Structure 1
Amino acid sequence: MERSEQRDQDAALSRRTLVRGLALGAAATVAGPALAQTGPAAPPTTITTPPRDFGPNGAPTTYFWDPDIIAVDPSFDDLAQPNTAIKRLYTGLLWAEGPAWSAQGRYLLWSDIPNNRQMRWTEDDGRVSVFRSPSNNSNGNSFDFQGRQLSCEHLTRRVTRYEHDGTATVLADSYQGKRLNSPNDIAAHPDGSYWFTDPPYGGQLYEGEPDVAGGPSNAGGKLNPRIGQPAGFAPGKRELPTNCYRIDPSGRIDLVVTEEQVPDPNGLCFSPDYKKLYVASTGKGPGDTGPGGKGEIFVFDVGADNKLSNVKKFSDCVIDGVKCGPDGVRCDVNGNVWASSNAGRAVGYSGVTVWSPAGKLLGRIRLPEVCGNVCFGGPKRNRLFMAASQSLYAVYTATQGAGPG
């Protein structure tokens, strides 16, 4: 029996005792049928029929613990926040990705990749608005230690930083003279460097641009990548393996993780002490000629010289025999890894998985949609925001996110 089920039973016993006492008191003064509760009222969840309504007008679901927050290990009770519920903050997107929290602005920024825009949710009034359009089909976003926004752009195959004066700086668009594939996710380091992944997922019409004729994602040349783009747009061609890179403060681009180590790298994050780097390896991307990623998370040791070593498979992300494919990842201040989960049609397994620094599964958050990426935010950085397919969700936690953005 999972601990969440035990908590529900304990809560049910307490409610039954209370209701029985109220009914006995009422029976002494009220004529007519006795007031009684025949059994505990189980709140709806993602796996009930009908399923739970996560919207603002949905029925209450939380007595003490949200039914879709599942403790697999007892230590998860110290990370999950009681008396709070998973909330859907917004819906109507095509594919939500790249959530990032602006501590100065107190807003959440995220990407709606196919709609070629960035969205913003403001903390003070919950208003959602279009933040940047077009966004060059941006995917991952973050904020550095100076509060500047970082964006990975599929369409232009580059990494961009938005300065405080409103200008935009291209941080990386090529490596050794070859254009990048489609930068996906980015993390800032205290030394002023930026680390990013470069899989091929933007090499498709829906989320960016296919290669020019003859390229790996457009081998037959039947797709025209210039359709729908502004005059003068120059389409690219996949020229590099799916690697991870480090942008040095000097501007130099260094290769830090090869495709052989982590194929199709996607989300990445540092441990709180910046001595570990976690990289998610997702599925086979457009134009891949090899086997591609297998939905796993890898971890590296980060040396004082920024060299990575001792690569290990952190998790295969298989839970109860179900592949919970990772995408975006974040660490909390205790070093636990919070990873988004894509379980396809396995209802009840998409959402978020939480792992100890040793790779032990601690808990899960169930969502009714595939989750693409997560981040911590809010004024106390104790709220987990989840960009999941067509919607944005959030839930308070009992821990805080590590690092900015």
Structure 2
Amino acid sequence: MKPWGKWNPGMEGGQAAPSRRALLAGAGAGAVLASTSGVLAQPQPPSTITDPPRDFRPAGPPTTYFTDPDVITVDPAFAPYVVPNSAIRRLWTGALWAEGPAWNAVGRFLVWSDIPNNRQLRWLEEDGHVSVFRAPSNNSNGNSFDRQGRQLSCEHASRQVVRYELDGSATVLADAFEGRPLNAPNDVVQHADGSYWFTDPPYGGLLYEGLPDEAGGPSNPTGRINPRLGQPAGTVTKRRVLPNAVYRVDPSGRIDRVLTDDQVPDPNGLCFSPDHRILYVCSTGTGPGDTGPGGKGEIYAFDVGIDSALSNQRLFADCVVDGVKCGPDGLRADVDGNLWVSSNAGRAVGYNGVTVWTPQGTLIGRIRLPEVCGNITFGGPKRNRLFMAASQSLYVLTVNTQGAGPA
């Protein structure tokens, strides 16, 4: 391992190497591991607290002997959920941007999206093997499995929500509202009444992870970007015409808009409480083509009525921890109603990962990762493993609770 005080990833022109303390304090710093041949290996992200920096690679040396130092109990209420001898593990790396993990209980595998690479990946519980599950994936983002074991996927490029049937066919659940194409469905969950709820922000209009609008649209106003490049023949480009929103697909097939952008700007991740009486929605940052103020990185809660009407909107959490904005993206509830929320703190490395909140909105725990975390889900045979899709990698931590229902 290269000595921290002798290596500077940004050193040019004879600039003096910073002190070890300065590097540890710098959120963007990285450590380099040397191979046995003396050739520098891929730079490793800095650990959040461990010294020397923690090596998350499968062949890296163990650093945890009792209680992972990056699983932090903020409030004593979190202690019962921590498995003392369980360590955070990085299962795989190699994505461009990982999102949408979903656990298949029958097949005992995890599916997640690598959005810019236009593919879905699969991790097998039996031996840890990772392979391409579906490619192309229409730049899919959020995934989940419904109570019948069918996979649900939100596709950016096709602007639709798809259900993969048990016979191998695919059903489009939603691709338009009131005759106008959706923006870029992002996350989808099933309610106990059989309906599907999904968010529709504009993030798929980015060239990096979807298809920009046709010329003149909000995400391609000058028309200089050609959205057809790299797409199959016959691809039909569309223009964003709908405001951001949250929708409900009734079991009959009817699509209703249940939340507007005025209520929750740039809606992103969503989940229900264990009893399905509360809906939680993340409001993330401004998307391509947005003209309004955009989201502020907050979580909102709503009461769900018998007729699926939403009421009693309230701010659940502003996601500010120690003065650092831990922007939420995806979230899931455990059987006790706690919310486990992905955290995007950018260059504030020690705050990327997962935050954990009680049903009353009190922060009780944190899981620190060396990468920005986009989405999470509970899985494993006992549904007590927290899978975390974080930037380029997939991480897992065994916890002392279970996720609330299939996701």
Asked if Structure 1 and Structure 2 have the same fold, meaning a TM-score greater than 0.5 normalized by the shorter chain, the answer is yes
Encode CA deviations 1:259-288: one digit per residue, 9 max, x unaligned: 001010000000000000000001000000
Q: Is the 2:375–2:388 contact (alpha carbons within 8 Å) kept by the matching residues of 1?
A: yes
Q: Is the 1:45–1:67 contact (alpha carbons within 8 Å) kept by the matching residues of 2?
A: no
SS of the equivalent of 1:217 reads coil
Partner in structure 1 of residue 160 of structure 2: 158
Encode CA deviations 1:82-138: one digit per residue, 9 max, x unaligned: 101000000011000000000011000000000000000000010000000000000
Encode CA deviations 1:16-36: one digit per residue, 9 max, x unaligned: xxxxxxxxxxxxxxxxxxxxx
Q: Which amino acid aligns with 2:326?
A: C
Q: Which amino acid aligns with 1:195?
A: W
Q: For 1:391 and 1:177, locate their aligned partners in 2 and report how far apart those are by CA, in whole Å.
A: 38
Give the number of aligned pairs. 362
Q: Is the 2:332–2:341 contact (alpha carbons within 8 Å) kept by the matching residues of 1?
A: yes
Q: For 1:140 and 1:79, locate their aligned partners in 2 and report how far apart those are by CA, in whole Å.
A: 26
SS of the equivalent of 1:85 reads coil
* 1:178-197 alignment runs, 5 A limit: 178-197=180-199
Partner in structure 2 of residue 350 of structure 1: 352
Q: For 1:99 and 1:196, locate their aligned partners in 2 and report how far apart those are by CA, in whole Å.
A: 15
Cα offset, 1:45, TM superposition: 4.1
Q: For 2:178 and 2:81, locate their aligned partners in 1 and report how far apart those are by CA, in whole Å.
A: 44
Partner in structure 1 of residue 172 of structure 2: 170
Q: Which amino acid aligns with 1:271?
A: S
Cα offset, 1:47, TM superposition: 3.1
Partner in structure 2 of residue 315 of structure 1: 317
Encode CA deviations 1:265-318: one digit per residue, 9 max, x unaligned: 000000000000000001000000011011000000000110000000100000
Which of 114, 117, 130 aligns to 1:115? It is 117
Q: Is the 2:49–2:69 contact (alpha carbons within 8 Å) kept by the matching residues of 1?
A: no
- Report the identity percentage: 73
Q: For 1:62 and 1:150, locate their aligned partners in 2 and report how far apart those are by CA, in whole Å.
A: 36
SS of the equivalent of 2:83 reads coil
Partner in structure 2 of residue 30 of structure 1: none
Cα offset, 1:180, TM superposition: 0.3
Are residue 83 (structure 1) and residue 104 (structure 2) matched?
Answer: no
Q: Is the 1:61–1:67 contact (alpha carbons within 8 Å) kept by the matching residues of 2?
A: no
Q: For 1:136 and 1:266, locate their aligned partners in 2 and report how far apart those are by CA, in whole Å.
A: 18
Q: For 2:298 and 2:208, locate their aligned partners in 1 and report how far apart those are by CA, in whole Å.
A: 24
Are residue 236 (structure 1) and residue 247 (structure 2) matched?
Answer: no
Q: For 1:385 and 1:278, locate their aligned partners in 2 and report how far apart those are by CA, in whole Å.
A: 19
Cα offset, 1:189, TM superposition: 1.1
Partner in structure 1 of residue 127 of structure 2: 125
Cα offset, 1:59, TM superposition: 2.0
Are residue 136 (structure 1) and residue 138 (structure 2) matched?
Answer: yes
Cα offset, 1:247, TM superposition: 0.3
Partner in structure 2 of residue 286 of structure 1: 288
Cα offset, 1:229, TM superposition: 0.6
Encode CA deviations 1:133-186: one digit per residue, 9 max, x unaligned: 000000000000000000000000000000000000000000001100000000
SS of the equivalent of 1:88 reads strand
Q: Which amino acid aligns with 2:241?
A: E
Q: Is the 1:100–1:375 contact (alpha carbons within 8 Å) kept by the matching residues of 2?
A: yes
Q: For 1:336 and 1:262, locate their aligned partners in 2 and report how far apart those are by CA, in whole Å.
A: 21
Q: Which amino acid aligns with 2:343?
A: S
Q: For 1:263 and 1:181, locate their aligned partners in 2 and report how far apart those are by CA, in whole Å.
A: 14
* 1:22-101 alignment runs, 5 A limit: 45-48=47-50, 50-101=52-103
Partner in structure 1 of residue 332 of structure 2: 330
Encode CA deviations 1:49-87: one digit per residue, 9 max, x unaligned: 542111112222222100000000001011111101000
Encode CA deviations 1:226-266: one digit per residue, 9 max, x unaligned: 11111110011111111000000010000111100101000
Q: For 2:186 and 2:316, locate their aligned partners in 1 and report how far apart those are by CA, in whole Å.
A: 20
Q: Which amino acid aligns with 1:126?
A: G
Partner in structure 2 of residue 5 of structure 1: none
Q: Is the 1:160–1:172 contact (alpha carbons within 8 Å) kept by the matching residues of 2?
A: yes
Q: Is the 1:295–1:317 contact (alpha carbons within 8 Å) kept by the matching residues of 2?
A: yes
Q: For 1:315 and 1:341, locate their aligned partners in 2 and report how far apart those are by CA, in whole Å.
A: 12
Q: Is the 1:242–1:265 contact (alpha carbons within 8 Å) kept by the matching residues of 2?
A: yes
Q: Is the 1:272–1:335 contact (alpha carbons within 8 Å) kept by the matching residues of 2?
A: yes
Q: Which amino acid aligns with 2:54?
A: R
Q: For 1:225 and 1:212, locate their aligned partners in 2 and report how far apart those are by CA, in whole Å.
A: 7
Q: Which amino acid aligns with 1:118?
A: Q
Q: Which amino acid aligns with 2:170?
A: A
Q: Is the 1:149–1:162 contact (alpha carbons within 8 Å) kept by the matching residues of 2?
A: yes
Q: Which consecutive residues of structure 1, in runs of 5 or more, have no partner in the other structure?
A: 1-43
Q: For 2:57 and 2:324, locate their aligned partners in 1 and report how far apart those are by CA, in whole Å.
A: 27
Partner in structure 2 of residue 385 of structure 1: 387
SS of the equivalent of 1:257 reads strand
Q: Which amino acid aligns with 2:342?
A: S
Partner in structure 2 of residue 256 of structure 1: 258
Q: Which amino acid aligns with 2:181?
A: R
Q: Which amino acid aligns with 2:315?
A: K
Partner in structure 2 of residue 41 of structure 1: none
Q: Which amino acid aligns with 1:267?
A: G
Cα offset, 1:190, TM superposition: 1.6
Q: For 2:47 and 2:81, locate their aligned partners in 1 and report how far apart those are by CA, in whole Å.
A: 20
Q: For 1:55 and 1:276, locate their aligned partners in 2 and report how far apart those are by CA, in whole Å.
A: 39
